[in-house]
Structure 1
Amino acid sequence: MKSETEIVKSDIEIAQAARLLPIGEIAEKLGLREEDIIPYGRNKAKIDLAARNRHPKTAEAKLVLVTAMSPTPAGEGKSTVTVGLAQALNKVGKRAIAALREPSLGPNFGLKGGAAGGGYSQVVPMEDINLHFTGDFHAITTAHNLLAAVIDNHLYQGNALNLDPARVVWRRVLDMNDRALRQIVIGLGGRTNGVTRESGFDITVASEIMAILCLVEDLKELKEALGKILIGYTYDKQPIYVRDLHVEGAMAAVLKDAIHPNLVQTLENTPALIHGGPFANIAHGCNSLTATRMALTLGEYVVTEAGFGSDLGAEKFFDIKCRKGDLHPNAAVIVATVRALKYHGGVARRELGKENLDAIAHGFANLEHHVRIVERANVPFVIALNRFTSDTEAEIEFVQTLCKEHGFPVAVTNVWAEGGNGGVELARSVISTVENSNQTFHPIYELDGSIQDKIEAVCRDVYEADGVVFTDEAKRQMAECERNGWDELPVCMAKTQYSFSDNAKAIGDVKGFTITIREIRPSLGAGFLVCLTGDIMTMPGLPKEPTALKIDIHEDGSITGLF
């Protein structure tokens, strides 16, 4: 068996050494014709949405969601497992496709790095995917800031809509981590520079337009959704929408290419659709509905992922994306690692390389909680124990024993070091789970309750909180949403990814806590209400030593430092 220590190449070196097939050959694997794809060079293409109508979905298509236990600073490798599982399914005779989110430049240059998998389970061309790719994020940024410019121009040109500058809720975005832009004052320097008011920037992946692009299925629906965006309120507290400014057509025109899913491949030439990338904190954290539907049309097995742990990504996948797209996941894979179990068992990050069975036993409660979340949606699951070099055989065997004692199906994976071969056990377990299950998926909560009912359902049934506290501001906003008829929408909880609570430092399977809802933001175009808890940042900052300091490009055009 190949181990991590035997692989001296970095992720980018592995990716650069890969033998990529021309993108036309990848398209042919899926049964796509020349007119179905829009090439972006030799190794990337967009799939024309019209191709979906020429390739009706087959009854055999199975949807597998990859989620994980609560994230840790050590990293769990969820994207790597997603790619590795798709490769492994192909190795055991299934026509599999990976469907993933696009990486954001902010984390790429910040602390997290890219999101194209790792080791021998990557999507390629890795450099392109982690940088500008096909320009989707640039289009979203432009459409978002076009609207911001039109709003401020409307205020300057006489404000026919009676829009209150102090109640404009639409900010600007940038696909970069830049804490200095979180709160700003615009319109300084004299009357000709516009109306002076407070505003700010969010990161592009937090834009409502990103969420919209990932939940609509054609240009007509896109334009309608853009028109529903709430931009602010009049002086007498009446809502103003994008359609009142008549700019939705121009915004949709900017997004005309971005709406088409992107086709690339893995290191083993498995087809992969990478499209969209909404924040899993502030939005629903899943790749686009169009990409998932396209993949279900073209493949037998579609392996997709949702951001962070099951309390955020999977819950929103079930309650927002699946509800909107009438999707029915056939199985879930919950990624766990020995290191994460030890971390949630109280071991400091610097000590995670040391064998500690007691900490694993204590941290196992975190994994159990994530299993309960998936079970509440009535989705069968498999635990993917993602192996790392520091894991001892005793630790691996102990986790397997704990899973067996709890009745959890588990498969040890080594897809980072071995690619698809390292995920064959997991692939076979997933196939068996799918073929032998008669469970019927259902969302975790129903839409016919009040806003408070839906929030409390997520906090009670997903986070297992003892109660929910609403600030006066959240109560006011909830009443405002009800007055305006927005109470039938699903809720999108904005919470720390590190804990089931709203306290990032409360790790493990925290008990005896309440969730505080401090603000409710209507995302009417996307079709949900964002409920903010704790200190959620919509514009991250750079760390003391950002990854950008390690990235370089050489005279021959090769890039180093990306991971």
Structure 2
Amino acid sequence: MAVNDREFHLKELDPVLMKDWEIAEKAEDFLKPVKVLAMELGLTEDEIIPHGKYIAKVDFAGVLARLKDRPNGKYIDVTAITPTPLGEGKSTTTMGLVQGLGKLGKKVTGAIRQPSSGPTFNIKGSAAGGGLSQCLPLSPFSLGLTGDIDAVTNSHNLAMVALQARLQHEANNTDEFLSSRHLTRLDIDPSRVEMKWAMDFCAQSLREIIMGIGGKTDGYRMPSGFGISVSSEVMAILSVFTSLSDLRERMGKIIVAYRKNDEPVTTADLEVDGAITALLLRAVNPNLLQTIEGQPVFVHAGPFANIAIGQSSIVADRLALKLADYHVTESGFGADIGFEKFWNIKCRLSGLKPDCAVIVVTARALKMHGGGPKVTPGAPLDPAYTTPNTKLVEKGCQNMLAHIQTVKTAGINPVVCINHFAADTHEEIDIIRRTAEQAEARVAVSHHWAKGGDGATELAEAVTDACNEPNNFHFLYPENMPLKKRIETIARKVYGANGVSYTPIAMEKLARIESMGDTQFMPTCMVKTHLSLSHDPALKGRPSGFTLPIRDILTYMGAGLVVPVAGDIKLMPGTSSDPNFKRIDVDTQTGKVKGLF
């Protein structure tokens, strides 16, 4: 379909009158075939593996080898202020910015994370964007795509199968029997099993379980539980690996449990590392999709920056930066967690230097941070959020200022994107603009939800200006900083805490980790709520004077991360009383899925 024809049809789509899935269904009638999309991007036919007409995997290793001498394009990260539980349109803004840069005639790509089935069927939706700024095709994007998360889940769970089998056989058999099966007794401590099982749904009843109930042949009886698949270390490895050999090495270092003598039991010790790598193999190549206006979008790795790394993969960004002049990648939730991990983990491991960071801001979220009523998913918004209230906006700007300061601390040029909602007034927008400009940030008002790329040209222009200015990018902490000081540096300089406290188990693990010389060079991947700068989701605005409580510290040796867990956050979210799965169905006449958003 010609460009003019596509634009003509886009003008027929009305986000005010149509639901996101209805827009997506209409827009899918004029998507570019993925072979055309790939050709326009500069990929050869041998470098794509089609999955149907509109989706393909891309052989990242082949492309990077072919284009190794080509300079990288400009690198842009999209983050946000602390959101309401409804989200502030970060994925929508990412798609809008890609479309806006396309309107300026730039060769541009995007990279977003694959949605987990947890939020897709629960509260937040599929994270494909919204209105006239979406990633398409929507249904496959939202419902498993090419199976990457399934591969992560199966790979993770096979490691647990190997552990459980070993525990059972060591408990029930003699050393002679084990030796006859070419096994050495590992003396695993069942009270120190680090891994749990994985499932890609929000299933709070599986957080803590007892397994092995039955007879001698029914497994080893012990406490266990489930985390959501995207919180798995295997997903973290998918986010940060840089080559197939790097992936294979990392998959053998995953610590599954500890021996009674305190030595770790790894997937290599269980002789399952090759098999779990084989299961993950189909997930290593990034997926190629497109915006509603036909720009290429890479989808790879998973969400949840509050409990995981929450970044699109390093290989997806490296690939895109060789193919485009501008590449827009997305980090999960606010700058305190998503951007902080992009800055100090992803960029450290990738060696890539960002040119600009976009901070998505909404008047709605600022009203909440200014003292507005509680925002509850599934419940009608209080009128405070849909009627003018400049006092709440002005007070809530303190949260925005904290996130601007975080980006500036990294030495990156910040651009505040005011994601415009229909109820926003000129007075409220002026307050946000003036406050951000006083903090020396560029500001743009974007109407991408309602107008697509045409509504995002002001944002695109601000971003190109920021990218063309030099920056002083640097990490928050040096690699050799002790773990305890690293945690406290993040807590004080990013969250605004006065200090950090530790539970006895966290202190025990901290001492053990700091005694292991090689872990001092592992970046720190914090786990905390995304609903506050602090550990407490009830503390809005820019809280101060609090102590960040660390209740546990996990060691992801395969991913190369130390993972402190702050507050009461869970690695398995719960399903709400009004989940999205109630509204998702299939049209039996067309076979198309309806109700996704």
Fold equivalence (TM over 0.5)? yes
Residues 219 and 252 of structure 1 are in contact (CA less than 8 Å); yes or no, is this contact kept in structure 2? no
- Stretches of 4+ moved more than 4 A in 1? 2-6
**2:4 paired residue number:** none
State the secondary structure of the residue aligned to 2:550. Answer: strand
Q: Choose the corresponding residue for 1:475, options 492, 499, 507.
A: 507
Residues 523 and 530 of structure 1 are in contact (CA less than 8 Å); yes or no, is this contact kept in structure 2? yes
Residues 364 and 385 of structure 2 are in contact (CA less than 8 Å); yes or no, is this contact kept in structure 1? yes
Residues 84 and 423 of structure 1 are in contact (CA less than 8 Å); yes or no, is this contact kept in structure 2? yes
**1:559 paired residue number:** 593
> Could you list the per-position Cα deviations for residues 345-371 of structure 1 after superposition, in whole angstroms to 9, with x for gaps in the alignment?
011141211101111110011000000
> Could you list the per-position Cα deviations for residues 349-403 of structure 1 after superposition, in whole angstroms to 9, with x for gaps in the alignment?
4121110111111001100000000011000011000000111222223322333
State the secondary structure of the residue aligned to 1:127. Answer: helix
In structure 1, how many angstroms separate the alpha carbons of the residues matched to 2:43 and 2:112? 20
Which residue type is aligned with residue 298 of structure 1?
L
In structure 2, how many angstroms separate the alpha carbons of the residues matched to 1:143 and 1:12? 32
In structure 1, how many angstroms separate the alpha carbons of the residues matched to 2:446 and 2:303? 28
> What percent identity do the matched residue pairs reach?
42
Q: Choose the corresponding residue for 1:117, options 129, 132, 140.
A: 129
Cα offset for 1:165?
1.6
Query: Would you say how many aligned residue pairs link Structure 1 and Structure 2?
Result: 561
Q: Choose the corresponding residue for 1:323, options 348, 358, 381.
A: 348
For the aligned residue pairs, the C-alpha RMSD in angstroms reads 1.5
Which residue type is aligned with residue 509 of structure 2?
Q
Which residue type is aligned with residue 333 of structure 2?
F
Residues 328 and 441 of structure 1 are in contact (CA less than 8 Å); yes or no, is this contact kept in structure 2? yes
- Cα gap change, 1:301 to 1:358, in 2 (>3 Å): same
**1:545 paired residue number:** 578
Gaps of 5+ in 2: 1-10, 172-184, 376-381
Residues 4 and 389 of structure 1 are in contact (CA less than 8 Å); yes or no, is this contact kept in structure 2? no
1:402-481 correspondence to structure 2 within 5 Å: 402-435=435-468, 437-481=469-513
Q: Choose the corresponding residue for 2:225, options 174, 196, 200.
A: 200
State the secondary structure of the residue aligned to 2:520. Answer: coil
Cα offset for 1:490?
1.4
**1:170 paired residue number:** 195
State the secondary structure of the residue aligned to 1:66. Answer: strand
Gaps of 5+ in 1: none
**2:302 paired residue number:** 277
Residues 57 and 287 of structure 2 are in contact (CA less than 8 Å); yes or no, is this contact kept in structure 1? yes
Cα offset for 1:55?
2.1
In structure 2, how many angstroms separate the alpha carbons of the residues matched to 1:313 and 1:531? 15
In structure 2, how many angstroms separate the alpha carbons of the residues matched to 1:74 and 1:281? 15
In structure 2, how many angstroms separate the alpha carbons of the residues matched to 1:176 and 1:444? 34
Cα offset for 1:3?
13
Residues 15 and 23 of structure 2 are in contact (CA less than 8 Å); yes or no, is this contact kept in structure 1? no
1:181 and 2:206 equivalent? Answer: yes
Residues 401 and 436 of structure 2 are in contact (CA less than 8 Å); yes or no, is this contact kept in structure 1? no
Residues 85 and 531 of structure 2 are in contact (CA less than 8 Å); yes or no, is this contact kept in structure 1? no
Residues 115 and 303 of structure 2 are in contact (CA less than 8 Å); yes or no, is this contact kept in structure 1? no
Cα offset for 1:516?
0.9
**2:147 paired residue number:** 135
Which residue type is aligned with residue 370 of structure 1?
H
Q: TM-score, with normalisation over the residues of structure 1?
A: 0.98
State the secondary structure of the residue aligned to 2:559. Answer: coil
In structure 2, how many angstroms separate the alpha carbons of the residues matched to 1:427 and 1:396? 18
1:228-239 correspondence to structure 2 within 5 Å: 228-239=253-264
In structure 2, how many angstroms separate the alpha carbons of the residues matched to 1:404 and 1:245? 56
**1:46 paired residue number:** 57
Residues 365 and 508 of structure 1 are in contact (CA less than 8 Å); yes or no, is this contact kept in structure 2? yes
Moved more, 20-29 or 55-64: 55-64
Q: TM-score, with normalisation over the residues of structure 2?
A: 0.92
Residues 211 and 278 of structure 1 are in contact (CA less than 8 Å); yes or no, is this contact kept in structure 2? no
In structure 1, how many angstroms separate the alpha carbons of the residues matched to 2:13 and 2:346? 36
In structure 2, how many angstroms separate the alpha carbons of the residues matched to 1:233 and 1:471? 20
In structure 2, how many angstroms separate the alpha carbons of the residues matched to 1:298 and 1:516? 44
1:496 and 2:544 equivalent? Answer: no
Cα offset for 1:196?
0.6
Which residue type is aligned with residue 437 of structure 2?
K
Residues 121 and 266 of structure 1 are in contact (CA less than 8 Å); yes or no, is this contact kept in structure 2? yes
Cα offset for 1:318?
0.5
> Could you list the per-position Cα deviations for residues 117-167 of structure 1 after superposition, in whole angstroms to 9, with x for gaps in the alignment?
111100000111010100000011111111111111111222621111221
Moved more, 361-370 or 272-281: 272-281
